Amino acid sequence: MDIIKTSIEGLMIIRPTVHKDDRGYFMESFNESMFSEAFPNIRFIQDNESKSSYGVLRGLHFQKSPFEQTKLVRVIEGQILDVAVDLRFNSPTFGEWQSFHLSSTNKDQLLVPKGFAHGFLVISNEAIVSYKVDNAYNPMADSGIFYNDKDLGIEWGIDESQLIISKKDKLLGSFKDYQI
Give catalytic status of residue 61 as yes or no: yes
Catalytic residue among 19, 25, 54, 61, which?
A: 61
Alpha-carbon distance of 101 to 146, in angstroms, equals 20
Is the preceding peptide bond at 92 cis, omega within 30 degrees of 0?
A: no
Q: Which residue among the candidates 25, 101, 131, 178 is catalytic per the annotation?
A: 131
Over residues 117-175, the pLDDT tens digits come to 999 999 999 999 999 999 999 999 999 999 999 999 999 999 999 999 999 999 999 99
Residue-range domain boundaries for the chain: 2-170
pLDDT at 68 over 70: yes
Q: Which of 19, 54, 14, 47 is nearest to 136 (CA)?
A: 47
Whether residue 118 lies in the annotated active site: no
CATH code, 2-170: 2.60.120.10
